[in-house]
Amino acid sequence: MRKKILVTGGAGFIGSHLCERLLNEGNEVICLDNYFTGSKKNIVHLMDNPYFEPIRHDVSQPFYIEVDEIYNLACPASPVHYQHDAIQTIKTSVMGAINMLGLAKRLNIKALQASTSEVYGDPFIHPQPESYWGNVNPIGIRSCYDEGKRCAEALFMDYHRQNKVKIKIIRIFNTYGPNMNPGDGRVVSNFIVQALKNEDITIFGDGKQTRSFQYVDDLIEGMTKMMATDDSFIGPVNIGNPNEFTMLELAAQIIDLTGSKSKIVYRPLPSDDPKQRQPDIHLAKEKLNWEPQIKLRGGLVKTIAYFEKII
Ligand code: NAD
Ligand code: UDP
């Protein structure tokens, strides 16, 4: 049956892949975005589809529509962008969650929240299971994002407990792939763009901090599987690739794959930058029968091909 699905942040990196997937499955998609970090370029290939409808709107403002499901992705995700207007970032997460939950409550439909591994902050427990409460600085430069997302999770849980709203929470770990904005500021896009232009590759700190990188197709599979679970499973559930790399290892792979002449340079580590990050995905394996399929090298090859085309 064709569903009418609202995707907030649908013109962004992840949102554009999600819109495409939902349309390919035969659904009608309403893509709400204010184009702060997203771009019409990411969705232009969907415009001819009569079942695709983009709407320019700020999710922190009330929004009325009739739909069957909501994926709430609207929020800048790169530190450079979410710190650019920190107050707007908090409003987007918190007011956006309230508006989408209000909609889900009125329509008695499911709402899925794109939460983040940032709720674990700079973690003391490694890898991070969903039961870990995290180590987050509430007053630092990353708090607008981390605490905004934590507050959104709290709101989702409270609307569920108090108003019986059907919710799903996924905690997404570092994701990369085509449609990332070349000026986005995140590490994978930065290193690839720098390597392709033979410019210096900027490692923040000593480069020994780790992240676990997930290719976007794996995330979309996990996200849609989560939405399809029955109403009793609400999460939160980690969606990420447990393969962990240092930033030095990432830079070396990208230099190798691009054949770049770039040199590595070191820049100061931004404050509160987490030292390590790796998802524990036992819950996703058990409840969603999901695990990532794409290894870093294979995902980087596809991502490099995308950036070669656009820069
Ligand atoms: P992105 O910046 O490419 O996409 C975010 C989209 O939301 C953009 O299209 C932007 O224009 C839109 N947006 C921002 N503020 C808005 C507002 N107030 N109203 C309407 N639209 C607004 O980032 P992304 O990587 O695609 O991230 C999508 C979601 O996934 C975000 O909620 C992010 O927190 C979450 N997430 C991403 C990652 C990752 O590694 N990419 C990791 C964890 C969580
Ligand atoms: N980073 C880096 N060089 C860059 C951009 C980022 O070394 O040009 C580092 C950053 O300090 C962090 C890691 O790469 O330790 C991942 O950064 P990103 O902004 O992609 O994601 P997040 O820190 O939110 O996980």
- The pLDDT confidence band at residue 1, using thresholds 50, 70 and 90, is confident
Domains of the chain: residue spans and CATH: 4-179+214-242+278-293 (3.40.50.720)
Q: Supply the residue whose CA is at minimum distance from atom 13 of ligand 2.
A: 187
Quick one: what percent of the chain has pLDDT higher than 90? 99
Q: Which atom, in ligand 1's list, is nearest to the CA of 14?
A: 26
**Ligand 1 center–CA 36 separation, angstroms:** 9
Tokens of 290: 């999901």
Residues identified as active-site: 145
Choose the residue to mutate in 17, 44, 73 for probing ligand 1, maximizing ligand atoms within 8 Å of C-beta. 73
- The pLDDT confidence band at residue 241, using thresholds 50, 70 and 90, is very high
59 CB under 6 A from ligand 1?
A: yes
**Ligand 2 center–CA 69 separation, angstroms:** 33
pLDDT tens for 177-236 read: 999 999 999 999 999 999 999 999 999 999 999 999 999 999 999 999 999 999 999 999
**Ligand 1 center–CA 13 separation, angstroms:** 7
Q: How far apart are CA 26 and CA 103, in angstroms?
A: 23
Tokens of 200: 């210096």
Beta bridge partners of 55: 32
Closest CA to 277 of 134, 145, 143: 134
Which ligand is nearest to the Cα of residue 187, counting in written order? 2
Quick one: what percent of the chain has pLDDT higher than 70? 100
pLDDT tens for 102-139 read: 999 999 999 999 999 999 999 999 999 999 999 999 99
